[in-house]
Amino acid sequence: MADNRLTIDEIERWLRQDDPARLEDLWRQADAVRRQFVGDAVHLRGLIEISNHCVRGCRYCGINAANDSLVRYRMTADEILACAHRAVDFDYGTVVLQAGEDPGIETEWLADIVRRIKRRTPLAVTLSLGERPVEDLICWRKSGADRYLLRFETSDARLYGMIHPSSPGHPDRMELLGVLRRLGYEVGSGVMVGIPGQRLHSLAEDINLFARLDLDMIGIGPFIPNLHTPLGSGELAPPIDPAEQVPNTDLMTCKAVALTRRVCPQANIPSTTALATINPESGRELGLTRGANIIMPNLTPLQYRTLYEIYPGKACINETADACNACLRTRIESIGRTIGSGPGGRKRISNG
Ligand code: 5AD
Ligand code: FES
């Protein structure tokens, strides 16, 4: 078994590796570590995109506040509860409530929804609602929320500053990840692969940081240009040496997933929708065979789903929850894996 401790330089060398035979070794190592630490079960997390309102101006994201070409929606509590019950019907162990940073999602309103889901179903509840005030995070944890996702997007502070205007008076994302941990959430983060201006060295640092943060969940997807955003329309292209630029390809995403599995053997790592978007044929399977162990099927009602357009051409945007459920089960079984049951939380196993 390969040693899973990799230095930043070793990670960077792997990211630059293009020899197919060496890359086969990387996929094999990642798959072996995945099997040893989290097993063959693929856990399904039902994604409910509860609101596309957003007050922030992320320069990569299609639902940013400045995009006025988008009809905005916020699901009702009953609609959200109905989706949670569908998750139970499909035997998913978790629901992920995701939205833009939407102050219209009031603290108590969401707390009540979390309590109702926890009272009426066996589901784990994951929140992915952006940079909320600490009081909100405390309240939702007390209401029963189990996990929180907040990607740091890139550990390159300069690049992050360019693509993610900060909000005065808010703690930054790194600080919030610490707060979430102290509150007892399982903590998820992650990055985009191939942001214009992102260097191979900084992606290697991202992967090293995942390990130092001891993250429970790590989402990694390719950057997909969105014409309704400054970064996607080419308005904001930080000039760097093309040899240093991270490509936003499925191959580079898979390298990042595989290396992340090696340095974070116990983490829950999804094969992301963005990877399936740039490789509709086999992106889901590539992620799962190169380190990932989670899939997040979309449960958002179709009339809203098309409005949650973070990036164009999102996989499954016109598929019903039933269709995605059936499709994903077939895909998982086709690669000889099983479907996980129960909430599928972070396992803590001694790493010898
Ligand atoms: N391409 C790929 N991923 C994106 N995200 C936001 N915009 C894009 C884009 N244009 C990702 C971010 C965010 C997550 C919810 O979606 O990483 O954290
Ligand atoms: Fe949605 Fe295949 S995963 S249709």
> What are the per-10-residue average pLDDT scores of the chain (352 residues)?
81 98 98 97 97 95 93 98 97 97 97 98 98 97 98 95 83 92 98 97 98 97 94 80 96 98 98 97 97 97 94 92 94 96 79 44
Q: Which of 45, 295, 319 to mutate to test the pocket of ligand 2 (most atoms within 8 A of CB)?
A: 319
Q: How far apart are CA 146 and CA 184, in angstroms?
A: 8
CA-nearest residue for atom 3, ligand 2, is 324
Which residue has 């070794």 as its token pair?
A: 25
pLDDT of residue 167: 77
61 touches ligand 1 (CB under 6 Å): yes
Number of neighbours of residue 65 by Cβ within 10 angstroms: 15
224 touches ligand 1 (CB under 6 Å): yes
Domain extents in the chain: 8-339
pLDDT of residue 111: 98
pLDDT of residue 352: 41
Burial class (CB in 10 A: 0-12, 13-18, 19+), 107: middle
pLDDT of residue 349: 66
Question: How far does the centroid of ligand 1 lie from the alpha carbon of residue 3, in Å?
Answer: 31
Question: Which two structure tokens, joined as six digits, stand for 225?
Answer: 């240009």
Q: How far apart are CA 264 and CA 158, in angstroms?
A: 26
Q: How far apart are CA 244 and CA 198, in angstroms?
A: 8
Q: Which CATH architecture has domain 8-339?
A: Alpha-Beta Barrel (3.20)
Question: How far does the centroid of ligand 1 lie from the alpha carbon of residue 133, in Å?
Answer: 21
pLDDT of residue 2: 53
Question: Which two structure tokens, joined as six digits, stand for 246?
Answer: 């991270």
Question: Which two structure tokens, joined as six digits, stand for 105?
Answer: 């999602």
